[in-house]
Amino acid sequence: MPVVSLKGPKGRIVIPHFPIDMVAINERAQSFTKRSIKKESKIKALFLAIEMMDLTTLEGADTPGKVRSLSAKARNPLAPSYQDIILKKGFPPIPSTAAVCVYPSMVKIAKESLEGSGIHLASVATAFPSGQLALSMKVKEVERCVLEGADEIDMVINRGAFLSGDYQTVFNEIIAVKAACKETAHLKVILETGELQTFDKIRLASWLAMEAGADFIKTSTGKVQPAATLPVTLVMLQAIWDFYQESGKIIGMKPAGGIKTAKQAIHYLIMINEVMGERWLTPDLFRFGASTLLNDVLRQIFKEATGQYFYQDLFSID
Tell me what pLDDT residue 246 has: 94
Q: What is the Cα–Cα distance from 210 to 287, expressed in whole angstroms?
A: 17
Could you say which of 138, 188, 254, 296 is catalytic?
Answer: 254
Angstrom CA distances, 305 to 59, 66, 234, 308, 313, stand at: 34, 30, 32, 8, 18
Total domains in the chain come to 1
pLDDT along the chain (318 residues), means of 10: 82 87 96 93 96 95 96 93 90 96 98 97 95 95 98 97 96 98 96 94 97 97 91 98 96 95 97 96 94 91 86 56
Residue 317 has a pLDDT of 54
303 in a structural domain: yes
Question: Is residue 24 one of the residues assigned to a domain?
Answer: no
Q: How far apart are CA 218 and CA 230, in angstroms?
A: 13
- Is residue 237 a contact partner of residue 199, using CB atoms and an 8 Å limit? no
Residue 311: the pLDDT is 57
Rounded mean pLDDT of the chain?
A: 93
> Of 101, 96, 97, 105, whose CA–CA distance to 64 is shortest?
105
In a domain, 180, yes or no: yes
Q: Is 154 a catalytic residue?
A: yes
Cβ atoms within 10 Å, residue 295:
22
| Res 315: pLDDT | 57
Q: Is residue 115 part of a domain?
A: yes
**Taking a C-beta distance cutoff of 8 angstroms, is the pair 56, 294 a contact?**
no
Enclosing domain of residue 290: 38-55+95-308
The catalytically annotated residue of 178, 188, 218, 296 is 218
Per-residue model confidence (pLDDT) at position 19: 87
pLDDT at 200: 96
Domain CATH for 177:
3.20.20.70
Residue 297 included in any domain: yes
- What is the predicted pLDDT for the residue at 318? 52
Is position 104 within any domain?
Answer: yes
Q: How far apart are CA 193 and CA 287, in angstroms?
A: 17
- Whether 106 is covered by a domain: the verdict is yes
The residue annotated as part of the active site, out of 54, 111, 138, 154, is 154
What pLDDT score was predicted for residue 153?
98
Q: Is the pTM of this model over 0.85?
A: yes
**pLDDT of amino acid 176:** 97
Q: Is residue 16 in a domain?
A: no
